[in-house]
């Protein structure tokens, strides 16, 4: 069983192919070693491979042991140690593959495990990334905070939880985030309850929708939330309904005379012949309708400079109508349209003030949201 597991391990490592992220770091010496190991994995009695492997491995090992962080002076702090860790990673693959093939393990004398050097290099990389992040945190601007967050994130990816890096990541991200305060909507000098709303859903809706847009380094808050958490606004969104008019229901009535020729009987002749005559009906149509409108004015501006990112008005319309009918006379004279109106008599409930106002607000808001998504840049 143990030999089988070792064999499966060697097959996995050697067979990684393009998924082996370290393969691009292979030197000619490395490739020679891996080719010899592959031959031995297929045939443990390959004498030529067994004879060549020790010197090939030593050559690859000696070349890599000459590498230090000084070999990567052109790379930024942290990156130089990560480059070194990747070079040692190639030796780690050799170490694991030699160990996985008994014949190779016997042939190679002085097999070196580079895991300690890899850990050391990663620790040094995390330390340098961490220190770079601390340096950027001393500058009081958003771009530096973004750079600090990136360096702290690198340190955390290498060594999760390094020092107090997670706390610093949170602080840096907060500094790098543009805070946008959305003020409560002004409903044309009336409170939201004047229109029958149970709560001011519009403010929370726009905050939710915009936060879900995954804006880079931007976060939206209500004015209440910002005040309670002492958040300083970078941008401000104002919502003002300059018009919110819910119309009254008007009624129009009309009468339509209908007539049609139908068979009213038959003659007594043999064979009988049909007798035709006109039948009549009156259709009484009632149309109820309401026309309402609203205008949402929105201003989005930079708090420090007062510069507008957006200032425009967004109209909304709600035209409601319903037609019903009754009739007198012979129903055979009625048309299919008449019957549709007659059967519509159950639809007699007028929309409430709240329903109309809600539709108007949503109509205006959807236009505003579309404009923000398509053209407003909240970042620098």
pLDDT in tens, 181-229: 999 999 877 777 787 777 788 999 999 999 998 777 899 999 999 999 9
Q: Are residues 198 and 262 in the same domain?
A: no
pLDDT at 11: 37
pLDDT at 8: 32
Q: Are residues 232 and 289 in the same domain?
A: no
H helix runs in 114-200, sequence order: 115-137, 142-158, 165-176
Interatomic CA distance for residues 332 and 258, integer angstroms: 9
Q: Which two tokens stand for residue 366?
A: 């959807």
Q: Are residues 202 and 232 in the same domain?
A: yes
Residue numbers of the domain that contains 63: 2-174
Q: Are residues 233 and 285 in the same domain?
A: no
Q: Are residues 139 and 205 in the same domain?
A: no
Q: Are residues 205 and 218 in the same domain?
A: yes
Q: Which two tokens stand for residue 269?
A: 């002749």
Q: Are residues 166 and 186 in the same domain?
A: no
Q: Are residues 241 and 257 in the same domain?
A: no
Beta bridge partners of 275: 265
Q: Are residues 106 and 205 in the same domain?
A: no
Residue 7 has pLDDT above 50, yes or no: no
Residue 54 has pLDDT above 90, yes or no: yes
Q: Are residues 306 and 323 in the same domain?
A: yes
pLDDT in tens, 93-123: 999 999 999 999 999 988 999 999 999 999 9
Query: Structural domain tally of the chain?
Result: 3
pLDDT in tens, 15-35: 444 457 888 889 899 999 999
Residue 60 has pLDDT above 60, yes or no: yes
Residue 101 lies in a domain: yes
pLDDT band at 380; cut points 50, 70, 90: low
């Amino acid at each position: 069983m143990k030999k089988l597991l070792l064999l499966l391990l060697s097959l996995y490592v050697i067979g990684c192919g393009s998924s082996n992220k370290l393969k691009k770091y292979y030197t000619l010496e490395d490739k020679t070693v891996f080719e010899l190991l592959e031959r031995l994995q297929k045939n443990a009695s390959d004498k030529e491979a067994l004879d060549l492997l020790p010197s090939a491995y030593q050559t690859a090992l000696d070349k890599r042991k000459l590498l230090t962080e000084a070999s990567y002076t052109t790379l930024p702090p942290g990156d130089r140690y990560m480059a070194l860790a990747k070079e040692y990673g190639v030796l780690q693959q050799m170490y694991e593959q030699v160990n996985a093939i008994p014949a190779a393990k016997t042939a190679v004398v002085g097999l070196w495990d580079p895991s300690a050097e890899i850990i050391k290099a990663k620790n040094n990389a995390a330390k340098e990334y961490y220190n770079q992040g601390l340096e950027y945190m001393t500058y009081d601007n958003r771009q530096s905070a973004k750079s600090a967050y990136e360096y702290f994130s690198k340190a955390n990816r290498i060594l999760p939880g390094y020092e107090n890096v997670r706390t610093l990541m949170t602080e840096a991200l907060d500094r790098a985030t543009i805070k946008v305060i959305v003020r409560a909507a002004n409903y044309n000098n009336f409170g939201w309850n004047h229109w029958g709303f149970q709560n001011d859903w519009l403010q929370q809706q726009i905050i939710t929708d915009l936060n879900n847009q995954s804006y880079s380094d931007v976060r939206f808050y209500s004015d209440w939330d910002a005040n309670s958490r002492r958040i300083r606004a970078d941008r401000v969104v104002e919502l003002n309904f300059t018009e919110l008019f819910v119309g009254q229901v008007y009624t129009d009535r009309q009468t339509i005379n209908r007539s049609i020729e139908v068979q009213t009987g038959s003659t007594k002749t043999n064979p009988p012949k049909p007798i035709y005559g006109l039948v009549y009906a009156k259709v009484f149509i009632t149309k109820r309708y309401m026309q309402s409108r609203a205008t949402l004015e929105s201003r989005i501006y930079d708090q420090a400079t007062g510069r507008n990112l957006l200032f425009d008005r967004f109209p909304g319309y709600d035209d409601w109508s319903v037609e019903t009918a009754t009739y007198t006379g012979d129903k055979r004279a009625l048309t299919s349209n008449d019957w549709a109106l007659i059967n519509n008599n159950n639809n007699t409930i007028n929309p409430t003030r709240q329903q109309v106002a809600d539709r108007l607000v949503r109509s205006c808001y959807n236009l505003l949201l579309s404009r923000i998504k398509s053209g407003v840049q909240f970042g620098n």
